[in-house]
């Protein structure tokens, strides 16, 4: 048996069986799906594809696998917007609410499936009138308003691929993405509301397009009503085009392997990668996971994924999963602290939200804001909670469980990536017991192993997380760069997909993600994951959030440096710092005692909320800062430097 490669220090013994009341009525209450999928994965996914989706033509083959290139459901044809909209309306559910939308200023719109279908057909005709054809790419740069899913679905209706560019990105990022995809149309808005004010988007598009020769037209939605410059002949108002557009647009019959969308992920160094997702396999796995991981009851649930549609979480679990399954979702435009720090809890109470899906970074922020924020609201409608995006520290998990879930809601910690398209490791909440900090076990039809440096499976302990079989929603490549696809994901371990995450496996076969392997420190020859030290720091009652990096050290190779944000009311004294260092040593062992702990006002994060450890390493090692363009608030690093002086 292989030796563990990353050391495993932090032990978390708490375990929560599915709450009885929840398990009694859950969609899945036994292991039969796991057994079915293990016995014959292809037959399992074929059954899901046929049951969850409507096909114009049934597929001939389930999977063709020529490593690393997969084709799922070849011969099958379908249309994504038909699956998300028409079939629900045809079944008499046109009046069902698709989105309870709320703008940040408090304005609301209730969008039914029939409304959405009508709007999508018109906009699909608009796209056609602007010359968009099957196979073309359309870039979308919008705030979180209903026109964003409308634009995405209209692309799928005419068979064009969308590339949604997160609304927080700068003009340079837009230029790179538009040019790489050679998009012909950009859909945007004058702006959106964030943090209590209008925040303009169109000027960023204008600046970006100075260097984008492929773009013929820009469609602009009026949201904030602020003045915008319109370029004659190029720029058109959404409302003008929609007023003229024909009502009916027949959906294109797309092949299962036709491109559905591109979504760019920032590599740490090189240019962003256009991750390619295709139609039939993606929609199958997204619908399957959305239904069974969230235990969806479309008739009665009010589901809320509080992510941004600009990230893959929003693509799969705000737009495609919920709509394919005929769910009613909350869609919110703004920030969680506007007008108060209880905005989310106020909305959960008002809409009677049943499932809430958010990120650890948000949960830790809510913790920092204090128990009284959710405490002032009736959250009894919630029956399930979800988390995604990073490892969740056990303390944050327990806080979520207690203060949001009232101790009665299962928490589904879902591990996946832009590249995987859909959730991969997560509990089925009526069956699998949860442990705070573990994403539990691979979902039915997903197969993975923790391996050591040589690629040998580790049965217990830490190593690299790899996937051993193709899955329907897997990326089909990197746009325009098949070699980069092979090199990035399939070359580190032969025959295995590896996208950079460390993980450990415990005696029950549970997976504990340890962060990206670039986030593993090497202290005197011990390989320690930043996640574990962060969890130990956050475990201390004074700490709200922590980020840990390894800084070059003459003696130990790397030394552990912790940056912490303390909870409201706590004073940052030298005694506290000593106590925190000792706390880590007690929790995980003396090797992991941080050499330095710095109390800082905030941490540098990307706009999707991931801590930029690279910048913290630069600070710890006294270097000039590297690339900060994806940083949400560039001022933060200076404040941290001050704290470090």
Identify which of residues 254 and 549 has a Cβ nearer to ligand PRX in the complex: 549
DSSP-assigned beta bridge partners for residue 505? 461, 511
Identify which of residues 163 and 608 has a Cβ nearer to ligand PRX in the complex: 608
| Contact between 431 and 31 (Cβ < 8 Å) | yes
Instruction: Give the C-alpha separation, 472 to 62, whole Å.
Output: 9
| Site track 587-616 with ligand PRX (rule: CB under 6 A), x = hit | ---------------------x--------
Identify which of residues 34 and 497 has a Cβ nearer to ligand PRX in the complex: 497
| Site track 469-508 with ligand PRX (rule: CB under 6 A), x = hit | ------------------------------xxx-------
Q: Write the secondary structure of 42-58 as one string of H (helix), E (strand) and C (coil).
A: HHHHHHHHHHHCCCCEC
Our finding on whether 446 is near ligand PRX (CB under 6 A) is no
Q: How many residues bind ligand PRX (CB under 6 A)?
A: 20
In the complex, least distance from residue 417 CB atom to ligand PRX, rounded to whole angstroms: 4
> Read out DSSP for 390-401?
SPPPHHHHHHII
Our finding on whether 463 is near ligand PRX (CB under 6 A) is no
Identify which of residues 516 and 583 has a Cβ nearer to ligand PRX in the complex: 516
Identify which of residues 413 and 545 has a Cβ nearer to ligand PRX in the complex: 413
DSSP-assigned beta bridge partners for residue 478? 275
- Of 101, 261, 400, 513, the one binding ligand PRX (CB under 6 A) is 513
Residues 6+ apart with CB under 8 A from 28: 292, 295, 428, 430, 431
Instruction: Give the C-alpha separation, 312 to 479, whole Å.
Output: 16
Helices and strands (H and E) in the chain: how many: 22, 30
Residues of 434-473 as b/e, b for ≥16 C-beta within 10 angstroms?
bbbbbbbbbbbbbbbbbbbeebeebeebbbbbbbebbbbb
- Of 389, 394, 442, 445, the one binding ligand PRX (CB under 6 A) is 389
Interface with ligand PRX in residues 410-429 (CB under 6 A): 413-418
Our finding on whether 330 is near ligand PRX (CB under 6 A) is no
Which residue stretch of 24-32, 95-103, 251-259, 386-394 sits at the interface with ligand PRX (rule: CB under 6 A)? Answer: 386-394
In 10 A of CB 60, how many CB atoms? 10
DSSP-assigned beta bridge partners for residue 384? 355
| Contact between 414 and 386 (Cβ < 8 Å) | yes
Which run of H or E residues covers position 202?
helix 202-209
3-state secondary structure of 364: helix
Identify which of residues 498 and 563 has a Cβ nearer to ligand PRX in the complex: 498
Interface with ligand PRX in residues 251-310 (CB under 6 A): 265
| Contact between 29 and 484 (Cβ < 8 Å) | no
In the complex, least distance from residue 425 CB atom to ligand PRX, rounded to whole angstroms: 7
Identify which of residues 252 and 519 has a Cβ nearer to ligand PRX in the complex: 519
User: Which residue reads 């000039």 in tokens?
Assistant: 624
Identify which of residues 530 and 608 has a Cβ nearer to ligand PRX in the complex: 608
Contacts to ligand PRX by CB under 6 A: 265, 312-313, 388-391, 413-418, 439, 499-501, 513, 516, 608
């Amino acid at each position: 048996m292989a030796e563990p490669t990353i050391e495993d220090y932090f032990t978390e013994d708490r375990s929560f069986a599915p709450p009885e009341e929840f398990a009694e009525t859950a969609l899945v209450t036994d292991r039969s799906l796991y057994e079915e999928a293990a016995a014959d994965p292809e037959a399992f996914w074929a059954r899901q594809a046929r049951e969850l989706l409507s096909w114009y033509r049934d597929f001939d083959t389930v999977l063709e696998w020529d490593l690393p290139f997969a084709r799922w459901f070849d011969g099958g044809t379908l249309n994504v917007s038909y699956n998300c909209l028409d079939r629900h309306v045809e079944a008499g559910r046109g009046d069902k609410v698709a989105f309870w939308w709320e703008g940040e200023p408090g304005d609301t719109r209730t969008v039914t499936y029939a409304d959405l279908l009508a709007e999508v057909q018109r906009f699909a005709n608009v796209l056609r009138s602007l010359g968009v054809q099957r196979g073309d790419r359309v870039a979308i740069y919008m705030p979180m308003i209903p026109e964003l899913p409308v634009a995405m679905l209209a692309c799928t209706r005419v068979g064009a691929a969308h590339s949604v560019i997160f609304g927080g990105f700068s003009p340079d990022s837009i230029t790179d993405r538009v040019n790489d995809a050679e998009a012909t149309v950009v859909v945007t808005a004058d702006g959106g509301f964030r943090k209590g004010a209008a925040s303009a988007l169109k000027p960023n598009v204008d600046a970006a397009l100075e260097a984008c020769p492929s773009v013929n037209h820009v469609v602009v939605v009026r949201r904030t009503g602020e003045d915008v410059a319109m370029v004659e002949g190029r720029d058109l108002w959404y409302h003008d085009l929609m007023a003229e557009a024909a009502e009916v647009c027949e959906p294109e019959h797309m092949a299962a392997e036709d491109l559905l969308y591109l979504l760019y992920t920032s590599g740490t160094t090189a240019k962003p990668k256009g991750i390619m997702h295709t139609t039939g396999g993606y929609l199958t796995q997204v619908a399957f996971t959305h239904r069974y991981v969230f235990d969806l009851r479309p008739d009665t649930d009010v589901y809320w994924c509080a992510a941004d549609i600009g990230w893959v979480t929003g693509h799969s679990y705000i737009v495609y999963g919920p709509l394919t399954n005929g769910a009613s979702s909350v869609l919110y435009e703004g920030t969680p602290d506007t007008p108060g720090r209880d905005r989310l809890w106020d909305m959960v109470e008002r809409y009677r939200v049943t499932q809430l899906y958010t990120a650890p970074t948000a949960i830790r922020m809510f913790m920092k804001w204090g128990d009284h924020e959710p405490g002032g609201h009736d959250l009894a409608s919630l029956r399930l909670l979800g988390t995604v995006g990073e490892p969740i520290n056990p303390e944050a998990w327990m806080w979520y469980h207690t203060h949001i879930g009232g101790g009665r809601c299962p928490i589904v910690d879902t591990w996946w990536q832009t590249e995987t398209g859909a959730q991969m490791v997560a509990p089925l909440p009526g069956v699998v017991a949860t442990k705070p900090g573990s994403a539990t076990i691979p979902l039915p039809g997903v197969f993975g192993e923790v391996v050591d440096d040589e690629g040998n499976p580790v049965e217990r302990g830490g190593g690299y997380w790899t996937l051993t079989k193709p899955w329907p929603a897997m990326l089909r490549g990197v746009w325009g760069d098949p070699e980069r696809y092979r090199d990035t994901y399939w070359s580190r371990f032969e025959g295995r997909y590896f996208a950079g995450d460390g993980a450990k496996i415990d005696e029950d076969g549970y997976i504990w993600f340890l962060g990206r392997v670039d986030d593993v420190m090497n202290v005197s020859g011990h390989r320690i994951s930043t996640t574990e030290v962060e969890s130990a720091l956050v475990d201390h009652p004074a700490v709200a959030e922590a980020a840990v990096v390894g800084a070059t050290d003459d003696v130990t190779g790397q030394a552990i440096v912790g940056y912490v944000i303390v909870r409201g009311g706590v004073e940052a004294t030298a005694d506290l710092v000593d106590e925190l260092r000792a706390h880590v040593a007690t929790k995980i062992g003396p090797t992991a005692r941080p050499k330095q702990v710095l109390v800082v006002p905030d941490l540098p994060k990307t706009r999707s909320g991931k801590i930029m450890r690279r910048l913290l390493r630069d600070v710890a090692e006294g270097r000039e800062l590297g690339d900060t363009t994806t940083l949400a608030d560039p001022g933060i690093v200076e404040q941290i430097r001050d704290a470090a002086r």
